[in-house]
Chain A
């Protein structure tokens, strides 16, 4: 993996510090999310009972994971019966190797991709580009990010942080097109460029939203039609998918598809929900002659092994938890430095890539719980952030912070001492003005942006004592 040049924690603090001060970023994301809230909540209100729908969805996923092995076997059986080739990979390295082997076997040069979050996870594009292949992202937002040389900002809205002016500049620089600030014209530029790519591509790579066990299908949700074209025109189709995406039954989609659309974008249903059941079958007029489904573990089984946080594998990647997250909205998606941003990313990244390296993301939360409340499959997101914090400390107790909490506990368990410390605080507070704003300010983290409250001239316990003695 093209792994991090600077420590993830330092990178997060540096980026977050920059973006939180960027008021233009703040305005842009607030405007975009404002639109999301309107459509999402009006659509959700049309459900006869959204809370019951969530509970049903969560239980369906819970039951699916409970027998994950059986469902995966059923999928494999049903899919291979129609000529699909199923591969199993434990690591990103293995998945990349399987893909490169398929490409080589077909002497392919041109590869078109629809949105594949798992490929970001395994850094597939970098490798394919290094090997000299022509790889193109076909989802508009992903295409724009590819031109920009940046990973997706948000796993559902990949370039929501860019203005039309910035996109126009990008197109001018990379495609030589004239400036336009009309979103429609910008979209049509991309449409023209990408259309021929589908027709010329040798291989199409897609992701998957659901793996349907009882029919051996892969279900893909999208709005643009790029995934459908990616799965229709190239001779060979590759689908890269995490092992956890299983739904037991075809009919389960009748619940999950509208919930995904509602939570994700506030639509009744996303533009195209397409279920693939194999490569081109006898008598069919088109479709790939070969279809490879590659299952990726990449530490998902480690998360599965944690019963307390197993429900994080319920995730249907709707992005709702990012959209309501005040942290996400203020630090922006790129600060996370992860494939999956926002609350779900902060929960699962420590499992996928190491707790000690990524625990700072679990710390970066006020534990407000907006994510948990919005999640269509009821993942206990903010409590898992809390659990990650605990697990990190249980695994490796911080020395200084550990001392601090020992001292804190010592103090609060001694009411007299506590009372004294309030009095001392009251006494010394006037002196604080001397150091405020300097590097000697012990409360600098607070006072950099906020005034300190004043210690009251009489604490409640003193008041109570005075009252009792009357």
Chain B
């Protein structure tokens, strides 16, 4: 028998005896019927924090959480507005080199900044990316409920672009904002379907952080110290 077979045999032997349903002991909670458990996730939405009723409320929620998380959100009228705000930011922070990826929203923005740019498409040198001041990416969705950004290798130029440079800038459209996590996961499934999954998808919630030293919050532990979202 291979080790794999041995493990599966042990699992199947163990599962011959059923375990009691959760909530069976010392709890006033009545367990749901099992059939309900299977559909639990459809129901999970109703227990999670309330993201608000309409897109205006979602935006408000996203902005509120972003402020708590120290994500900077700029509302922009159009792409030109994004570009001019980006130029201001580049100047204020003294950027010398940017990293970006090929994308209808991102490429024009990178060009507008008018600084040397590294494009990740088709591969790059990690040492070079480490020298960039900022990584500019698109994303798949923004989540109001948690103040998160959902992106993948495919939508955001690879695995490292959104985490290696010290500043991560996201450019997105307002209609990419979804109310809650169940909606975000539904959207991702719709976008990438069964076997189209990019090798990495990530939900980013605020800039990189740690509380490992005396539980005091410090931003920029390994990933970006700053996270800025331009919302068109």
Q: Is chain B in direct contact with chain A in the complex (CB below 8 A)?
A: yes
Q: Would you call B48 and A55 a contact (CB within 8 A)?
A: no
Nearest-neighbour CB distance to chain B for A359, whole angstroms, equals 21
* A180 to B150 Cα, complex, angstroms: 37
Residue ID in chain A nearest B36 by CB atoms: A59
A380 and B26 in contact (CB under 8 A), knowing A48-B47, A215-B197? Answer: yes
The closest CB in chain B to the CB of A62 belongs to B22
Known contacts A55-B31, A58-B23; is-contact A268 B13 (Cβ 8 Å): no
Contact A50 B47 (CB under 8 A): yes
User: Does B163 touch A at the CB level, under 8 Å?
Assistant: yes
Do A295 and B37 touch across chains, with their CB atoms under 8 A apart?
no
Residue A395 lies at the interface, judged by CB distance under 8 Å to chain B? no
Q: A90-B7, A310-B19 are in contact. Are A287 and B130 (CB under 8 A)?
A: no
Does A273 belong to the interface (CB within 8 Å)? yes
Q: A59-B22, A191-B221, A254-B184 are in contact. Are A304 and B210 (CB under 8 A)?
A: no
Interface pick from A277-285, A397-405, A416-424, A458-466: A277-285
A252 contacts which chain B residues (CB < 8 A)?
Answer: 41
Q: Which listed residue (A51, A82, A199, A223) contacts B210, Cβ 8 A?
A: A223
Complex partner residue of A160 from B7, B45, B164, B215, CB under 8 angstroms: B215
Smallest Cβ-Cβ distance to B200: which chain A residue: A276
B145 CB, nearest partner CB in chain A, Å: 7
Specify which chain A residues have a CB less than 8 angstroms from the CB of B43 in the assembled complex: 56
Q: Indicate if the CB atoms of B222 and A195 lie closer than 8 Å.
A: yes
Cβ of A26 under 8 Å from chain B: no
8 Å CB interface, B18-37 against A: 18-23, 25-27, 29, 31-32, 34, 36-37
Judge if A6 is at the interface, Cβ distance under 8 Å.
no
- Interface hits, A304-328 → B, CB 8 Å: 304-305, 307-308, 310-311, 314
Bound-state CA distance A141–B23 (Å) is: 35
Q: How many A-B residue pairs have CB under 8 A?
A: 330
Q: Does A19 contact B (CB under 8 A)?
A: no
**A224-B223, A301-B10 given; A285·B122 CB < 8 A:** yes
Task: Kindly provide the distance from the CB of A189 to the nearest chain B CB, expressed in whole angstroms.
Answer: 11
| 8 A Cβ contacts from A35-78 to B | 35-36, 46-53, 55-56, 58-63, 65-69, 72, 78
CB neighbours (8 Å) of A310 from chain B are: 19
Q: Which of A9-17, A243-251, A340-348, A436-444 contacts B (4 or more CB under 8 A)?
A: A243-251
Bound CA span A257–B49, Å: 13
Query: Within the assembled complex, what's the spacing in Å between the Cα atoms of A229 and B161?
Result: 10
- Residues of chain A with a CB closer than 8 A to B209's CB: 223-224, 271
A84 CA to B15 CA in the complex, in Å? Answer: 27
Cross-chain contact B159 with A231 (CB below 8 angstroms): yes
In the complex the two chains form, is A59's CB within 8 Å of B46's CB? no
- Which residues of A are found within 8 Å of B22, using beta-carbon distances? 55, 58-59, 61-62, 311, 314, 377-378
| One of B197, B204, B206 near A82 (C-beta < 8 A) | B197
Range, interface on chain A: 35 or more
The reply on A194 being an interface residue by CB < 8 A is yes
Question: In the complex, which of the residues A68, A199, A231 contacts B11, with contact meaning CB atoms closer than 8 Å?
Answer: A68
Selected A-B contacts with CB under 8 Å, 9 pairs: A48-B46, A50-B47, A62-B19, A68-B11, A281-B198, A285-B157, A286-B126, A383-B25, A383-B26
Given A60-B40, A65-B15, A159-B212, 4 other A-B residues pairs in contact with their CB atoms under 8 A: A268-B147, A301-B10, A305-B10, A372-B26
9 tightest Cβ-Cβ pairs between the two chains A and B: A225-B223, A58-B22, A232-B159, A224-B221, A141-B212, A305-B14, A53-B47, A59-B37, A285-B158
A interface, CB within 8 angstroms of B: 28, 31-32, 35-36, 46-53, 55-56, 58-63, 65-69, 72, 78, 81-82, 88-90, 94, 138-141, 144, 157-160, 162-164, 167, 183-184, 186-188, 190-191, 194-195, 199, 215-217, 223-226, 228-229, 231-233, 243, 249-255, 257-258, 265, 267-281, 284-287, 295, 297, 301, 304-305, 307-308, 310-311, 314, 372, 377-378, 380, 383
B residues with CB within 8 A of A: 2-4, 6-8, 10-15, 17-23, 25-27, 29, 31-32, 34, 36-38, 40-41, 43-50, 65, 69, 101, 120-124, 126-127, 130, 145-148, 153-154, 157-161, 163-164, 180-182, 184-186, 188-189, 195, 197-216, 218, 220-224
